[in-house]
C-alpha cells in the first residue's frame, strides 16, 4: 500500500459543533495524508455506521471490541450487560477510543505498492458516563432500535422491555471529546495506473463496495 506522503490538511471546519471538535490535540491530528481529513463528514459517517469498535486499555493490555451503537447530539451511545468487561471497564471513567468505518471500495493497481482502499472513517476519543435515568435509557434504546430497523414501532412491532430487563441493562454515553475523520476516494494512483495499456497485462480497477459498514 502506498502511503508515502505527509501533507497539511486544509482547514475545512464549519460551525458544526462536531467538526469543531476535530483534531483539536496531537492525539487526533491526522499526520499521514492529512489532506484526507474531512471533519465536516464526521457526523454523516457516525450516523451511517452500524458497528463501533470500542478500544480501551486495561492493566496495560489494549482491547478492541465491536458494539452496536447510536450517535446523537455529540455523543456515542453503547449498551449491553452490566457484567460486560468492556462496559464495566469504560464506565469507571477511563479514556476510550471508538472507531467507525465505512468501506467504499477496494483499489487494484498495476503495481503492488499502490493497492489501496476507498473509505470514510472516524476515530472518537472520550470518557463514558452511565445513563441511569430509566426514561432516558428507554428513549436511547428506542432511538437505537429505530436506527437499525427504520419504521419498527415500539408496542406495535415489538414489546417494551420490562423494568427488570431495563435495570439489567447498562447504557453508556460517550460525549465526543475530540475526533478525527478521514476519507479516501478515487482510483488507483500508482506511477503507471493512468498510462495506456502497455502489453504487460497488469491492470488497475476499483471494486465498489458502496460504503459497506465494517
- Indicate whether 66 belongs to the interface with ligand FAD (CB under 6 A): yes
CA distance readout (Å), 40 to 37, 45, 72: 9, 10, 16
- Indicate whether 65 belongs to the interface with ligand FAD (CB under 6 A): yes
- Indicate whether 85 belongs to the interface with ligand FAD (CB under 6 A): yes
Closest CA to 97 of 174, 3, 35, 188: 174
- Out of 86, 109, 114, 118, point to the residue binding ligand FAD (CB under 6 A): 86
- Out of 79, 110, 120, 137, point to the residue binding ligand FAD (CB under 6 A): 79
Which ranges of 42-201 would DSSP assign to H, the alpha helix?
42-48, 85-90, 134-148, 163-167
- Indicate whether 28 belongs to the interface with ligand FAD (CB under 6 A): no
- Give the three cell numbers for residue 26: 496531537
Kindly state the smallest distance separating residue 86's Cβ from ligand FAD, in Å.
3
Measured CA to CA, the distance from residue 129 to residue 139 in angstroms comes to 16
Kindly state the smallest distance separating residue 97's Cβ from ligand FAD, in Å.
15
Measured CA to CA, the distance from residue 74 to residue 145 in angstroms comes to 19
Measured CA to CA, the distance from residue 145 to residue 151 in angstroms comes to 10
- Indicate whether 80 belongs to the interface with ligand FAD (CB under 6 A): yes
Kindly state the smallest distance separating residue 156's Cβ from ligand FAD, in Å.
23
Closer to ligand FAD at the Cβ: 80 or 187?
Answer: 80
- Out of 2, 48, 68, 183, point to the residue binding ligand FAD (CB under 6 A): 68
Reduce the DSSP state of residue 194 to 3 states and report it: coil
- Indicate whether 212 belongs to the interface with ligand FAD (CB under 6 A): no
Amino acid at each position: 500500500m502506498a502511503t508515502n506522503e505527509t501533507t497539511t490538511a486544509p482547514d475545512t471546519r464549519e460551525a458544526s459543533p462536531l467538526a469543531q471538535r476535530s483534531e483539536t490535540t496531537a492525539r487526533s491530528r491526522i499526520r499521514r495524508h492529512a489532506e484526507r481529513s474531512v471533519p465536516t463528514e464526521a457526523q454523516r459517517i457516525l450516523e451511517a455506521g452500524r458497528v463501533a469498535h470500542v478500544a480501551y486499555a486495561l492493566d496495560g493490555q489494549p482491547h478492541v471490541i465491536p458494539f452496536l451503537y447510536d450517535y446523537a447530539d455529540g455523543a456515542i451511545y453503547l449498551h449491553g450487560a452490566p457484567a460486560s468487561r468492556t462496559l464495566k471497564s469504560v464506565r469507571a471513567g477511563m479514556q476510550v477510543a471508538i472507531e467507525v468505518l465505512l468501506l467504499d471500495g477496494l483499489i487494484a493497481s498495476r503495481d503492488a505498492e499502490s493497492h489501496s482502499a476507498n473509505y470514510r472513517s472516524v476515530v472518537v476519543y472520550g470518557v463514558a458516563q452511565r445513563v441511569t435515568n430509566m426514561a432516558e435509557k428507554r428513549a436511547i434504546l428506542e432511538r437505537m432500535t429505530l436506527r437499525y430497523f427504520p419504521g419498527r414501532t415500539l408496542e406495535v412491532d415489538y414489546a417494551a422491555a420490562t423494568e427488570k430487563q431495563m435495570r439489567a441493562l447498562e447504557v453508556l454515553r460517550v460525549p465526543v471529546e475530540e475526533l478525527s475523520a478521514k476519507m479516501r476516494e478515487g482510483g488507483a494512483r500508482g506511477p503507471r495506473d493512468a498510462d495506456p495499456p502497455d502489453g504487460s497485462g497488469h491492470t488497475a480497477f476499483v471494486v465498489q463496495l458502496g460504503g459497506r459498514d465494517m
